[in-house]
Each structure stands twice: as C-alpha cells, then as structure tokens.
A and B are shown apart, each in its own frame.
Chain A
Amino acid sequence: MPAGSAFGNWWSLMRPYYTKAYQEMWVGIGIMTVLYYKVSYGAASLNKVCSKRLTELSLFISVRDLFINTPKWFGYPIFFYSEPKLSLIN
C-alpha cells in the first residue's frame, strides 16, 4: 500500500533521530502536552468528578475560565480557540 510504504520509508530515515538524537525533546513535549491539557480542559474535566470547591480551585489552572466575568471591552486573549464559557457549572 503506498501510504504504508511512505510511512515505512519516512520512519527508516527518521528513526535514529527520534529514538537516539532527540531523546531529551520528548520530556519537554510531554510537559507541554500536560500543560496545554490543563489550560484547555482542566476545569471541565474536574467539574465532573470533584466537588464545587475543587472545581472553583481548578479555575486558577484554566486560564480561559479566568475571563468569564471580564467585561467584553477588556478584549480576549489571542490564544483562545473559542469563546469562554458563560457559567461556572456546565
């Protein structure tokens, strides 16, 4: 299959880089992935399993939810994908 052989060709060329040369890179990639998850979805996921107090605490983790009560003239941070949620509880 062309797609399978393309991936195989690419992997045979890039394998020494991803497995040996750039080992230290994966640590930072993992940390950034966790941070992005916390910022984007931290409050939403905690809301389902934790009490209301813990959920409110998680608002400090989720930057997006900090701007819920901010008047619209303040402006939206440029790194949001969508509009902030309008209520604390989904």
Chain B
Amino acid sequence: MTMNLFNQFLSPTFLGLPLIAIALMAPCLLYPSPAPWWQSNRWTTLQNWFIGSFIKQILSPINTKGHSWALLLATLMVFLITLNTLGLLPYTFTPTTQLSLNMAFAVPLWLATVIMGFRNSPTHALGHLLPEGTPTPLVPILIIIESISLLIRPLALGVRLTANLTAGHLLIQLVSSAAFSLLLSQTTAASLAVGLLLLLTILEVAVAMIQAYVFVLLLSLYLQENV
C-alpha cells in the first residue's frame, strides 16, 4: 500500500527518457506571447494586468537596485503557480513535488541574494547576523543562531513547497481511494468521502497558489535585506 501511494510522485520516464522536461515546458505553452501592436486582446490584457499588479506589490518595499529582479520574480511566480495548479488535474505529474526541482530554485536564488549583499555592502550584510539591542552576553550565541537561520533558508524554501504539495496530493489520493472502494458497499460513507474530497480539492487549489506566492514573497524579502 505504501508503494502505491508514492508511485504518483515518481518522475515519469518513457523508454528511459525523462518526461519531466516536457512537464516543465507546459507553462510556456499555455500563456500568450506579448503582441507587437499597441492594444492586445482581453486575455493578454488580463495577463499583463495580473503580472503588473503582482510586480508592483512585490517590488514596492525593495529599492531600485533590486528592481532588476522583476522579470525573474514574475516568471517564477507564473511558472510555479501554473505547475502547481496543472498538477491538480487527474493523471498529471506535478514537477514541484520533486525536492530536486525546488532545491534547484531555492539554493541559487537564495545564494544570489546573499552574494549580492556581501558584494554591495558587506558590513550591512554581516550586520544582519546580530539584531539591534542584543545584550552583550547573548551576542556570541545569537550570531550562531542567526547564521544557522540564514543557512537553513534555502532548505526551508525548497522543503516547504515540496511538502505542502506532496501532502496535498497524498491526501487527495487517500480520500479518493477510500471513496472509490466504499462506493458500492457503503454508499453513505462514500458520499461523505466525496464531499470531503471536494473540500480538499478546493483547499489544494488555494494551497497551490499560496505556496507559489509564499516562495516568491520570501525570495523578495531576502532580496530586500541584501539590496
């Protein structure tokens, strides 16, 4: 039973070729490209409005130096939200349930913010390791604690996204298996399970969008600290 539950997270391959590459290209195929003319159609206008509002909201606390990250943060948000929500469709594979993918996003982006901080203003970046107003006896231990919290950030970023999506998909599979197996023998219990499945699916759609937003928001906060 344990094997069957986790089979949905195995990276799909076909004749030895990893299909995750095709899964990762899916968001690129779904969105219209910007048109060369002045006024676009409704769908493109809506897309542009969403990206513009999101970027204004994310970049408002960051100073001008960090605005070069606007393209990256917008792309990352759209990419993650699309991968997460597409994965909720039946029989689809969610690449963001793979820890390798999420760590590949988290580590380079977090490390880039740290290196930017040390490169532009090393004193200011080191100052983040000691909060203001710390009593003198606590200084050594607090520096160690802050350093550990700094180093754990990419791990937390990657694992948060992986765990949230994996847990959601696992719950959906458990409840749907229960509903399916009880369908003929105990119809009332099966209908309750279907009701629970509906609520769970709505929750998972929300979690998919929120987790993508949280990932990008935390990255923008790390950028704000170091720019």
Q: Are B6 and A81 in contact (CB under 8 A)?
A: no
Q: Are B2 and A31 in contact (CB under 8 A)?
A: no
Query: What is the bound-complex CA distance between A28 and B105, given in angstroms?
Result: 10
Q: Return the chain A residue nearest B11 by Cβ.
A: A81
Residue of A22, A28, A75, A82 with highest tally of chain B CB at under 10 A: A28
> Is B79 engaged at the interface, CB distance under 8 Å to the other chain?
no
Q: Are A76 and B6 in contact (CB under 8 A)?
A: yes
Given A27-B112, A72-B3; A32-B18 close (CB under 8 Å): no
Contact of B99 among A27, A76, A79 (CB under 8 A): A79
Q: Are B109 and A76 in contact (CB under 8 A)?
A: no
Main secondary structure of the interface of B (DSSP, over half): helix
Q: Count A/B pairs, Cβ under 8 Å.
A: 63
Q: Are B119 and A24 in contact (CB under 8 A)?
A: yes
Q: Are B104 and A75 in contact (CB under 8 A)?
A: no
Query: What is the bound-complex CA distance between A29 and B98, given in angstroms?
Result: 17
> Is A49 engaged at the interface, CB distance under 8 Å to the other chain?
no
Q: Are A32 and B10 in contact (CB under 8 A)?
A: no
Query: What is the bound-complex CA distance between A20 and B3, given in angstroms?
Result: 47
> Is A36 engaged at the interface, CB distance under 8 Å to the other chain?
yes
Query: What is the bound-complex CA distance between A18 and B98, given in angstroms?
Result: 26
Query: What is the bound-complex CA distance between A32 and B101, given in angstroms?
Result: 11
By the criterion of a CB under 8 Å from any partner CB, how many residues of chain B are at the interface? Answer: 29
Q: Return the chain B residue nearest A73 by Cβ.
A: B2
> Is B150 engaged at the interface, CB distance under 8 Å to the other chain?
no
Residues of chain A with a CB closer than 8 A to B6's CB: 75-76, 78
Query: What is the bound-complex CA distance between A71 and B140, given in angstroms?
Result: 45
Residues of chain B with a CB closer than 8 A to A17's CB: 68, 71-72
Query: What is the bound-complex CA distance between A21 and B68, given in angstroms?
Result: 6
Query: What is the bound-complex CA distance between A80 and B68, given in angstroms?
Result: 35
Main secondary structure of the interface of A (DSSP, over half): helix
User: Which B57-73 residues sit within 8 Å CB-CB of chain A?
Assistant: 68-69, 71-72
Residues of chain B with a CB closer than 8 A to A21's CB: 68-69
> Is A1 engaged at the interface, CB distance under 8 Å to the other chain?
no
Residues of chain B with a CB closer than 8 A to A81's CB: 11, 13, 18
Residues of chain B with a CB closer than 8 A to A28's CB: 107-112
**Nearest Cβ on chain A to B119's Cβ, whole angstroms:** 7
Q: Return the chain B residue nearest A72 by Cβ.
A: B3
> Is A25 engaged at the interface, CB distance under 8 Å to the other chain?
yes
Query: What is the bound-complex CA distance between A25 and B72, given in angstroms?
Result: 11
Interface flags, A58-90, vs B, CB<8A=1, else 0: 000000000000001101101111100000000
Q: List 10 A-B contacts (CB under 8 A).
A: A17-B72, A20-B68, A21-B68, A27-B115, A78-B9, A78-B98, A78-B166, A79-B100, A80-B10, A80-B11
Which B positions have Cβ atoms within 8 angstroms of A? 2-3, 6, 9-11, 13, 18, 68-69, 71-72, 97-100, 103-104, 107-113, 115-116, 119, 166
